[in-house]
Amino acid sequence: MGWRQNTERRTDMTTSTLGIIGTGTVGAGVARRAVDAGLDVVLSNSRGPETLTGLVESLGSHARAATPAEVARATEVILAAVPFGVHESLSREELAGKIVIDPMNYVVTDAWRRPELDGDELTSSELVQRHLSGSKVVKAFHSIGSPQIAQLFRDKGAADRSALPISGDDAVAKKEVADLLDVLGFDAVDLGPLAESWRSEPGTPLYATPYVGAPTADLTPAEWVAWVQSAPGVPVSAAEVERLAAETVRGPAGFRW
């Protein structure tokens, strides 16, 4: 398939389009980076295309709004940037045959627990793959904040280009997502199948902290999430991602409030 950018240099080629379901912090942030990198985006949320007018206008002529069903029909690679708690509302039928990028993190609350995750039997992305049984799920974009995506992208080969971890059970889908990351300005480090994606989940050294550094004060989880939104990005090399992933020891799953 491959990704083709909207550049004057490459007018002989057609444009590739990234589908996005969920246009909050992550969906809108990746959409902005994708449009700036020369891709088209089709955006959707739970409330309908008419609620996305402002975002589409701010992104310009290479963005349009749709329903999740229309996104699934119109695109082959779809970022599902919704809360993990609602992943079972993603349509298995509509997304069958598609590459679904999973940036979702298990947020542990008293009201919502998954015993398979609490017992470290499965990863959250394995649950997403079980639900989207006809799709090819690739975990990506889950370990970095949107502000850092906007700050840390670099041209291929730049000395301070950052790498992001990806995981998935389908090699072709992972290559497609790695190629997308490359277009967006990042290297990809393949951590293996979805069963190994715990190596980059919340609570591991690879999750978020390398891309922002540590805050100078003790913060509650809510304060930390807010702090990440304003923290300057720190480049993280592919070698560092590989080192952190290899050294990680599996602990309790999820982001704890």
Ligand X SMILES: NC(=O)c1ccc[n+]([C@@H]2O[C@H](COP(=O)([O-])OP(=O)(O)OC[C@H]3O[C@@H](n4cnc5c(N)ncnc54)[C@H](OP(=O)(O)O)[C@@H]3O)[C@@H](O)[C@H]2O)c1
Site for ligand X in 113-152 (CB under 6 A): 142, 145-146
How many residues in the shown chain lie near ligand X by CB under 6 A? 23
CB closer to ligand X, 7 vs 89:
89
CB of 250 to ligand X, least distance (A): 19
CA distance 137 to 140: 10
The nearest distance, CB 254 to ligand X, in angstroms, is: 10
Please tell me whether residue 22 binds ligand X under the rule CB under 6 A: yes
User: Residue 100 has which token pair?
Assistant: 């679904």
Tokens 């989940």, residue located: 201
47 binds ligand X (CB under 6 A): yes
For residue 159, with 0-12 CB atoms within 10 Å meaning exposed, 13-18 middle and 19 or more buried, which class applies? Answer: exposed
CB 179 within 8 Å of CB 37:
no
165 binds ligand X (CB under 6 A): no
Q: Which of residues 69-98 bind ligand X (CB under 6 A)?
A: 81-84, 86, 89
Residue at shortest CB range from ligand X: 24
Stretch that binds ligand X, among 10-18, 43-51, 182-190, 240-248 (CB under 6 A): 43-51
Q: What residues line the site for ligand X (CB under 6 A)?
A: 21-27, 45-47, 68, 81-84, 86, 89, 103-105, 142, 145-146
